[in-house]
Chain A
Amino acid sequence: MLTYLIRRVLYAIPILFVVNLITFLLFFVVNTPDDIAHMQLGQKYVTPESIMQWKQSHGYDAPLFWNSESRGLAKFSDTLYFQKSIKLFGFDFGRSLQGRDISSDISERMWPSLAIAIPTLIIGLFVNITFAMLLAFFRGTYLDNWGVGFCIVLMSISSMFFIIGGQFFLAKVLKLVPISGFYPSWEGMKFLILPVAIGVVTGVGASTRWYRIIFLEEMHKDYVRTARAKGLSETKVLFKHILRNAMIPIVTNVVVIIPLLFMGSLILEAFFAIPGLGSYTIDAIQGQDFEIVRSMVFLGTFLYIIGLICTDIAYVIVDPRVRLG
């Protein structure tokens, strides 16, 4: 187990390294620092001097990979690749193009993201499993057919419509909840209701349909027949036997996304003006702040790889048949 984990961690390092290199190439070789300076200063009325000055003040004036003017190790370390890219491995995200410290921004904005993402995940999981079990229990009936149809309808509606529609009908017309905003206290809970509800609704269609198939697959296995042959009631079979076995694929698939919850939900946060990492990323993309985008790509990849490793561990914990070696 331990050797397996060490091997997985060692396998993750080259992946992070390549991702880091890809983003570096994307932002520094495809677009030269001159282009970035042009973008930031505006296309018109830029003199070469002002570009030089901008590059100097943001640390973009070093060569890309190899600095022949420095000595010793500084030949590597005095380059853009080292300063901007390698330092990410130490979680030193540097400063955004506006001059703010990215690391402190991230640690500050992480909490509002989690305040939305965790309730959405838990409530969503509960709702999806309930619906999927209901459909699987009544398989082949009208309820099942209409339920699956309803899931397909939900899947076919863009999440933008759920957000806009929810904000309009529930918040503006009916005035049940505030339209948008965030306030970190107990009174601020009312701001969370609508985004969490919409986050759950947008996920219901696809997940329920998928969980239903997992439940149906379990229902056709031998142990279920044995349980029924013992004379157990159908509900008991469903809750005591099928649910526990179906939880294996469900739990392991949820574990992957748990670390990514930190990243927040992009459009949900932007629409509800929640100061989380999702809206931070969107602002960075819209403002073409490449420093922040690069940091978020690195962070996202890192969290995803953590998620993958956690999945392996989760497999061992929930399914005693699995041995890692």
Chain B
Amino acid sequence: MVFLWTDIFLFSFIVFFCIVGFIAFRQRHWQMAWKQLVVRPVPMFAFVIMMSYLLIGVIDSLHFQTKLGKTYSLLDVVIHPIGTMEESSYSMPFATHTYHLSESFKKPLKQAAYHIKSAEQYYKDILLRLTFALIEAYILIGLVYLVLAYKLKFIYQESFGEMFVRLAKGQTTIAWRSILFALWLVIYCIFLVYQMGGHYYIFGTDKVGISVFYQAVSSIRTGLMIGTLTTLVMLPFAIFLGMTAGFFGGIIDDAIQFFYVTLSSIPGVLLISASVLAFQVIMANNPHWFPSSIERADIRLLGLCVVLGITSWTSLCRLLRAETLKVREYDYLEAAKALGVKSGAMMLRHILPNIFHIIIITVVLDFSMLVLAETVLSYIGVGVDPSMMSWGQMINSARLELAREPIVWWPLLSAFLFMSVFVLSINVFADAVRDALDPKIRKLV
């Protein structure tokens, strides 16, 4: 077992969020907000998709080392042999031969589709695998469905048959039908990967013959890391400075305001690029810090997240300061002050819980922005390490492939699919979270 720095931070983020969630759930108004969220079908669908991405990211963050010093993750083991298959160059998704304009150059693939002898057999094989995955997914989700109906029948006090129909019609308080549908989709995809993975390249291969599907799946971890680690860096700055500025006012407020106005007046991309360039020079001058290339890439990712975090806390800080100014004037704070509660305790026990909804809303809204920002940064050349897989890198290397003759479209398409589904599910969920937590927006429509 090896622990990279980013892995440690990801796990501490998850633990931190679980603790916060646990504390929040003992409070009534958070339970109310959550109840508002779980009844809506579309956000719950997005929630399941988001969680499956998170799960893949977590599995990909458990690293092991072989005796020869090669690092691999649990994901590599789970989807073996997809990560190790290799060809000489481009091949289309589900191809049996390499990709060339002229027929005469096409060669059979080395490590995939070797069991295929004729075109007829090829279609039969694909169809068979699709059906098998479908049947397996239906069996599994059917079992889940039955168990769920059995559990729920006690809550609704109905017979099993009535509960079965009620679930199918989607007439439950919690949007179970859409959760089940999302689960079915995820499970179907997983079974498809298992049926196809070792025998075909699901999304083809890229220029050097590596599976594009493997790249896109490994990129999930990078995207997740950028979102979570940046949030982890940003939150202490924003919360502490925002609350202090709003609570104490006066010269402390002025100093903190000057600090964040200064930082936010530098154009974001330029500040990030400048910091990353400076960071790269430090890394180039101290190669002895990083024994292996994977650690090097890891530290660079961490550096990128720190830079992104330092440049992006200002907007949240501003919001928190304004909200603290408002909360400070409430009566119960006046009462707390009269009772002699110390400033620190007052901020922690009375102000923080009352501005916490803003933190949650901003964190989920910013998460998707950070994932999107990575593509732009990678294009500019200040993104993650070139040896690390990320959607930005995939887009960057794929953009010229559309100009090739014949065109190579699958690397771009798979990056597009994987990334857009991830960002879309986060955005849909974030939108619902905002609706549930922001009383102002709730009343508008």
A216 within 8 A of B: yes
Hey, what's the 0/1 contact readout for A153-175 against B, CB within 8 Å counting as 1? 10111111100100110001000
Q: A152-B431, A297-B271 are in contact. Are A27 and B379 (CB under 8 A)?
A: no
Minimal Cβ-Cβ distance residue in A for B391: A158
Would you call B195 an interface residue if the criterion is a C-beta within 8 Å of the partner chain's C-beta atoms?
Answer: no
A281 to B281, CA, bound (A): 19
**Which residues of the other chain, A, contact B424 by a CB distance below 8 angstroms?**
152-153, 156
Task: Please state if B376 and A267 are interface contacts (CB–CB under 8 Å).
Answer: yes
A285 contacts the other chain (Cβ, under 8 Å)? yes
- Do residues B427 and A30 form an inter-chain contact, with CB atoms below 8 A? no
Q: Number of B interface residues, CB 8 Å?
A: 47
Given contacts A266-B269, A300-B267, contact A15 B277 (CB under 8 A): no
The residue from B265, B380, B444 contacting A286, defined by CB atoms under 8 A apart: B380
Contacts of A286 in B (CB 8 A): 380-381
Which residues from 372 to 396 on chain B have a C-beta closer than 8 Å to any C-beta of chain A? 372, 375-376, 379-382, 391-392, 395
Q: Is the interface of B mostly helix, strand, loop or mixed?
A: helix
Query: Does A301 sit at the interface, judged by CB under 8 A?
Result: yes
The answer to whether residues A139 and B445 also contact, given A19-B262, A30-B281 and a CB cut-off of 8 A, is yes
Q: If the complex has contacts A19-B266, A213-B444, are A285 and B382 also in contact, measured as CB distance less than 8 A?
A: yes
Q: For residue B376, which residues in chain A have a CB less than 8 angstroms away from its CB?
A: 158-160, 266-267
B419: which A residues are within 8 A, CB to CB? 158
Q: Is the interface of A mostly helix, strand, loop or mixed?
A: helix
Give, as a whole number of angstroms, the nearest-CB distance from A304 to chain B.
Answer: 5
In the assembled complex, which residues on chain B have CB atoms less than 8 Å from the CB atom of A168?
402
A261 sits at the interface (CB 8 A) = no
Min CB distance B88 to A, Å, is 26
Q: A144 to B445, alpha carbons, bound, how many Å?
A: 10
In the complex, the chain A residue whose C-beta lies closest to that of B281 is A31
B420 with A293: CB separation less than 8 A: no
Q: A319 contacts which chain B residues (CB < 8 A)? A: none
Q: How far is the CB of B154 from chain A (nearest CB, A)?
A: 34
| A side interface size, CB within 8 A | 56
- How distant is the Cα of A290 from the Cα of B431 in the complex, in angstroms? 40
Q: How many interface contacts (CB-CB < 8 Å) are there between A and B?
A: 131
Interface positions, chain B 351-401, Cβ under 8 Å from A, are 368, 372, 375-376, 379-382, 391-392, 395, 399
Residue of A nearest to B272 (CB): A285
The answer to whether B265 and A15 touch across the interface, beta carbons within 8 angstroms, is yes
B267, A285: Cβ atoms closer than 8 Å = no
In the bound complex, CA of A297 to CA of B269 (Å) = 10
Q: Is residue B282 contacting chain A, with contact meaning CB distance below 8 A?
A: yes
B398-431 contacts to A (CB < 8 Å): 399, 402-403, 412, 416, 419-420, 423-424, 426-428, 431
Q: Which A residues lie within 8 Å of B147 (CB)?
A: none
- Tell me which residues from 1 to 54 in chain A have a Cβ below 8 Å from any Cβ of chain B: 14-15, 18-19, 22-23, 26-27, 30-31, 35-36, 38-39, 43
> Within 8 Å of chain A (Cβ to Cβ): is B274?
yes
**Are A156 and B420 within 8 A (Cβ)?**
yes
Say yes or no: A140-B445 contact (C-beta < 8 A), given A23-B274, A286-B380, A293-B270. yes
Q: Which A residue sits closest to B438, measured CB to CB?
A: A213
CB neighbours of B402 from chain A (8 A): 164, 167-168, 172
A14 contacts across to B, CB distance below 8 A: 258
Closest chain A residue, CB of each to CB of B422: A156
Residues of A within 8 A of B381 (CB): 285-286
- Beyond contacts A159-B376, A281-B270: 16 other A-B pairs, Cβ-Cβ < 8 A, are A26-B275, A30-B281, A139-B444, A140-B445, A158-B372, A158-B423, A160-B379, A172-B403, A216-B445, A217-B440, A220-B443, A285-B382, A288-B277, A297-B267, A297-B271, A301-B266
User: Top 10 closest A-B pairs, CB basis?
Assistant: A300-B267, A156-B424, A156-B423, A216-B444, A31-B281, A158-B375, A30-B278, A304-B265, A285-B273, A286-B381
List A residues at the B interface (Cβ < 8 Å).
Answer: 14-15, 18-19, 22-23, 26-27, 30-31, 35-36, 38-39, 43, 139-140, 144, 148, 152-153, 155-161, 164, 167-168, 172, 213, 216-217, 220, 260, 263, 266-267, 270, 281-282, 285-286, 288, 290, 293-294, 296-297, 300-301, 304-305, 308
